[in-house]
Amino acid sequence: MRLLIVGALEGQLSQATKLAMDGGAKVAHAGDVSIAMSSLRAGRGADLLLVDVLADIAGLIAALEAERIAVPVVACGTETNAAAAVNAIRAGAKEYIPLPPDAELIAAVIAAVARESSDFVVRDPSMARVIQMARQVAASDASVLITGESGTGKEVMAKFVHAQSRRAPKPFISINCAAIPEALLESELFGHEKGAFTGAVGRRIGKFEEANGGTLLLDEISEMDARLQAKLLRALQERVIDRVGGNRPVPVDIRILATSNRDLSVAVREGQFREDLLFRLNVVNLKLPPLRERPGDIAALSEHFVEKYAKANGMPAKSLSPEAQTALQRAPWPGNVRELENTLHRAVLLASSDTITPEDILLPDGTGLTEAARAPELHEQAAQSAANAARSLVGRTVADVERDLILDTLDHTLGNRTHAANILGISIRTLRNKLNQYAEEGTLVPGPGEQRSVA
């Protein structure tokens, strides 16, 4: 992560710099807003601006917007600068950090902006095969398309490919095509010349030129506008770019990596993505398997995250109980590695002892992990019950069939309304209304953790 600190930060500059660097950031300084803008225009990019709250933050954010530079701003100042802090947030700053800087707060802000790890924790053969393929293609300059579900580690894989390549000493620049508004993305990628549009007060270097000699990652490329796709295709074919408002092609020497959680061949058929661009990007496809298909990695990643977050939070070393490890293995993990990491971070904080049990592992909605791990099994049981019921539908009303299906499903989920609604494909509100109706009619409705007694 590249951090640009703007202003003197009231004498706290050296401490903030050290904390940021300890958190893995590459730090640069600018004495004031004008110097910061000059640095950004010149291609010395940043992923985050840490700005003195007494600086002209409103002017800075207006200048960034006018020159189509997309970078988040976080304000810093002493706790007595309450009015200035409020004004900074109103002006568009993403966050306010009081000084003297707190190590955990600085680390949290940096982690929220970018994850810099390019390390892999791998034990499962399916993922090991992808890693081996990545090592083989890393030495070339071939474009690589990295695909997989959200949270499988596509950006980590991109950093791994760069780190294994001959371009490793050069910049690795990443841009999220979905996170930047369409009107800003062209300037972010290709830069612009002075006077190219209102607010372009000077030449601005884009990501292509920032990455010169290194690697450019186009994250979530499926979200790129069709017009920009055409310009990107020319850049890949000719190895030159045109700044917005420019009349002279600029040569670039970069390696392109791209990620997508969508099937781009489907997007091509639907007319949302250029087929010729897909051919250029997809010289090599690294398809990351979802976590549920990498059981060998779940245990290794779980141990890694428990160790990592116990250390990060200054807590004693913790371990997972055998029961917790089993529950982790059985959970479906729709959010993949990202969900597993957040879940175990939460478990480290909630565990009352040095051993993490299944009861300590909660999902964001408060659902226990054991309950979530049983969801596929319960879904299958409910489906089987529905199939059995379907064999004896003749002569029964729709209302009777619906009531039995809902109550059978509720039995199989042990009275859990949320899981039953998900299995049935209806809203929780609809389910509750139905259950209230059945109860008023005198039908026994199981409560949470209950089943109807079977005669």
Check residue 455 and give its pLDDT. Answer: 39
Check residue 116 and give its pLDDT. Answer: 46
Residues 212-228 have a mean pLDDT of: 92
Q: Minimal CA–CA distance to 298: which of 279, 316, 324, 274?
A: 324
Q: With 90 as the cut, is the pLDDT of residue 400 above it?
A: no
Residues 6+ apart with CB under 8 A from 137: 144, 161, 284, 286
Q: With 60 as the cut, is the pLDDT of residue 27 above it?
A: yes
Q: How confident is the model at residue 11 (pLDDT cuts 50, 70, 90)?
A: low
Least confident span in 7-11, 135-139, 165-169, 209-213: 7-11
Residues 369-395 have a mean pLDDT of: 58
Q: With 60 as the cut, is the pLDDT of residue 189 above it?
A: yes
Question: Percent of the chain at pLDDT above 70?
Answer: 86
Bin 299: left if φ > 0, else alpha if -120 < ψ < 50, else beta. alpha
Q: With 90 as the cut, is the pLDDT of residue 259 above it?
A: yes
Write out the two tokens for 119: 């390390």
Check residue 297 and give its pLDDT. Answer: 92
CA 202 remoteness from chain centre: 33
Least confident span in 172-176, 229-233, 315-319, 410-414: 410-414
The CATH number that domain 125-287 falls under is 3.40.50.300
Pick the CATH number of 291-370 from 1.20.1070.10, 3.90.1150.10, 1.10.8.60, 3.30.930.10: 1.10.8.60
Residues 422-441 have a mean pLDDT of: 88
Check residue 114 and give its pLDDT. Answer: 46
Check residue 284 and give its pLDDT. Answer: 95
Check residue 369 and give its pLDDT. Answer: 75
Check residue 381 and give its pLDDT. Answer: 55
Residues 209-218 have a mean pLDDT of: 94
Q: pLDDT by residue (tens digit) across 127-176?
A: 999 999 999 999 999 999 999 999 999 999 999 999 999 999 899 999 99
HEC string of 221-232 equals HHHCCHHHHHHH
Residues 420-431 have a mean pLDDT of: 86
Check residue 417 and give its pLDDT. Answer: 87
pTM of the model: 0.67
**Summary mean pLDDT of the chain:** 84
Check residue 220 and give its pLDDT. Answer: 93
**Domain range summary for the chain, segments of one domain joined by +:** 2-113, 125-287, 291-370, 375-440
Position 166: which residue type?
R
Check residue 374 and give its pLDDT. Answer: 56
The pair phi, psi for residue 28, each rounded to 5°, is -130, 160
Q: With 60 as the cut, is the pLDDT of residue 7 above it?
A: yes
Check residue 286 and give its pLDDT. Answer: 96
Check residue 378 and give its pLDDT. Answer: 45
Residues 339-368 have a mean pLDDT of: 87
Q: With 90 as the cut, is the pLDDT of residue 380 above it?
A: no
Least confident span in 187-196, 315-324, 369-378: 369-378
Q: With 80 as the cut, is the pLDDT of residue 269 above it?
A: yes
| Highest-scoring range by mean pLDDT, 55-64, 142-151, 304-313 | 142-151
Q: pLDDT by residue (tens digit) across 337-353?
A: 999 999 999 999 988 89
Q: How far is CA 56 from CA 76, 163, 200, 392, in A?
A: 12, 38, 19, 74
The CATH number that domain 2-113 falls under is 3.40.50.2300
| Highest-scoring range by mean pLDDT, 35-39, 46-50, 256-260, 293-297 | 256-260
Check residue 348 and give its pLDDT. Answer: 92
Q: pLDDT by residue (tens digit) across 80-128?
A: 667 888 888 888 888 888 877 666 666 666 655 544 444 578 888 999 9
Q: Do the two domains 2-113 and 125-287 of this chain adopt the same fold? A: yes
Higher pLDDT, 383 or 294: 294
Check residue 386 and give its pLDDT. Answer: 53
